[in-house]
Amino acid sequence: MIVGAGFGGLAAAIDLQAHGFRDITILDRGPGLGGTWLYNDYPGAACDVPSHLYSYSFAQRRDWRRLCSFRDEIMEYLRDVAREYGVDRLVVPDTEVTKIAWDDADRHWTIETAAGAPRQADAVVLATGQLHRPAYPGIPGRETFAGHSFHSAEWDHDYDLAGKRVAVVGTGASAVQFVPEIAPQAGKLTVFQRSGNWFMPRRNRTYPPAVAAAIRHVPGVQAFRRHFIFHYGESLTAMIRHPRTLGRLGRIRSAAFMRAQIKDPDLRRRLWPDYTFGCKRVLFSSMFLPALQRPNVEVVTDAIERITPTGIVTTDGREHEVDCIIWGTGFRTSDFMFPMDVIGAGGRDLRDVWEDGPHAHLGLTIPGFPSLFTMYGPNTNTSGGSIIVYLEAQAAYLRQALARVRDADAAAIDVRPEVEAASDRALQARFAGTAWTECDSWYRNEDGRIITNWPGYMREYVASTAELDPAEYTLIDRPTRSREPAAA
């Protein structure tokens, strides 16, 4: 049973199916496949990772219209791939999983959903993503606002922003994409920034015909681009891993770009980030900073104190009256699959196991949760590469695990606790001295532990997961009494 029909869940289904696993179901709470791309359809939504790398290695396209595709093109790609590989028909939409529990006696998982009878499965792949549950800040008075408001991941396309006084709270990767789109429409746009960002240039125009033709027709050009972009991503990670040396080069490049884009010294000072380059996601946009300098746009960097029925009050005592507030405040990334209940062997609740922060062997397997795999799990996010590289590696790894179960005619496979504990210690130690440790970000939990990001390079993750080491796992025998076989 796979939970989540985004890039991760579909990658797992395709890989498992290609290796002879036939009884696969993909449950998704949404009305169809797409995962985060289904929900995030705000104006300008695009992937800031170039499409030649933000696409499956086994389903490469030569006809991307630009470097970084917009959301609709990504959705079209994902639907096409799912259809091509015959996994679209495995998706059961509108089915929110509320609880999964391991049955110690019968040695299978029971999956409960918001509606309908419980299902059973020999294995569960949780491909629920990190970036889909909107995070609303706990600003006092938020619920008292009498105007219109919505989150960037729940964009209200029926609400006409034309001529309105609009507030945007947050200046992360999402806001950077939609602010340039809505700034020309709004009567007045007030952007509330809590922290500045490091920017790198990206125009993302459609490819000139000659470039598009070369990618499409000249053998090797597409593969070369993918290779180049992969190594460009690795170089960004190198800057984050080595903030005092390589990171300085990134900072110099970014600072030069930002100085050229922000002419007004006061605005520049207010927009300037006060943390190490790469600590938070570096934002690629040549459009955002110019949009902030439009005559109808104001940037407010005083902290938000409270929300009133008519607007936003900042700590300088000013009330900014607005008709609409758009929350560009990101996602509840540390929740992973929660609020789903995940109950493992011996009735252990994953919430208790993760009391001090989520952790899993290679982000995938948790001791005491047999044949449960968390795709895009703890510490597998990337700041410098494409998550799809990680997801494909995870799909192949979990398929190897399930192939072992199948070959041994066992019930399930469980990672050894000492293996998981040691790999977690080693992983956390690798953050020492990196830029990620030098500021607060959504990569960390309240205790400061980095819980979302992989500390190294894409190539290291791919190498670490390439071959499952049987010594790191135990196989769980089938129960002695006979039972009806459950679904895979």
- 172 contacts ligand NAP (rule: CB under 6 A): yes
Least distance CB 113 / ligand NAP (angstroms)? 27
For residues 121 to 160, the per-residue mask of contacts with ligand NAP, x marking binding by CB under 6 A and - elsewhere, is: ----------x-----x-x------------x--------
Nearest alpha-carbon partner for 121 in 131, 134, 107: 107
Residue nearest to ligand NAP (CB): 172
User: Between 21 and 277, whose beta carbon lies closer to ligand NAP?
Assistant: 277
Q: What is the DSSP letter of 247?
A: H
User: Between 175 and 215, whose beta carbon lies closer to ligand NAP?
Assistant: 175
Distances (CA, A) of 41 to 75, 157, 255, 289, 335: 10, 9, 31, 22, 22
Structure tokens at 430: 């690798």
Among 15, 28, 48, 234, binds ligand NAP (CB under 6 A): 48
Structure tokens at 337: 């699959």
- 169 contacts ligand NAP (rule: CB under 6 A): yes
User: Between 440 and 467, whose beta carbon lies closer to ligand NAP?
Assistant: 440
- 195 contacts ligand NAP (rule: CB under 6 A): yes
Exposure string (b/e) for 163-180, b if CB count within 10 Å is 16 or more? ebbbbbbbbbbbbbbbbb
Among 233, 330, 384, 455, binds ligand NAP (CB under 6 A): 330
Q: What is the DSSP letter of 303?
A: P
Among 44, 180, 233, 328, binds ligand NAP (CB under 6 A): 328
Least distance CB 79 / ligand NAP (angstroms)? 19
User: Between 325 and 405, whose beta carbon lies closer to ligand NAP?
Assistant: 325
Tell me the CA end-to-end span of the chain in Å, nearest whole number. 6
Identify residue 310 by its one-letter amino acid code. T
Structure tokens at 478: 């089938």
Return the residues of window 391-450 that contact ligand NAP according to CB under 6 A. 442
Least distance CB 285 / ligand NAP (angstroms)? 10
Identify residue 428 by its one-letter amino acid code. Q
Cα(204)–Cα(181) distance, integer angstroms = 14
Whose tokens are 């993909």? That residue is 26
Return the ∠ at Cα 311 (arms to 310 and 317), rounded to 5°.
Answer: 120
- 329 contacts ligand NAP (rule: CB under 6 A): yes
Q: Is 187 helix (H, G, I), strand (E, B) or coil?
A: coil
Return the residues of window 303-322 that contact ligand NAP according to CB under 6 A. 304
- 281 contacts ligand NAP (rule: CB under 6 A): yes
Nearest alpha-carbon partner for 148 in 139, 160, 137, 133: 160
User: Between 51 and 371, whose beta carbon lies closer to ligand NAP?
Assistant: 51
Q: What is the DSSP letter of 225?
A: H
Q: Point out which residues pair with 341 in neighbouring strands.
A: 99
Among 331, 336, 373, 376, binds ligand NAP (CB under 6 A): 331
| Main-chain dihedrals φ then ψ at residue 166, nearest 5 degrees | -120, 135
User: Between 155 and 373, whose beta carbon lies closer to ligand NAP?
Assistant: 155
For residues 7 to 46, the per-residue mask of contacts with ligand NAP, x marking binding by CB under 6 A and - elsewhere, is: ---------------------------------------x
For residues 230 to 269, the per-residue mask of contacts with ligand NAP, x marking binding by CB under 6 A and - elsewhere, is: ----------------------------------------
Q: Is 88 helix (H, G, I), strand (E, B) or coil?
A: helix
Residues near ligand NAP (CB under 6 A) are 46-49, 131, 137, 139, 152, 169-175, 177, 192, 194-195, 281, 304, 328-331, 442
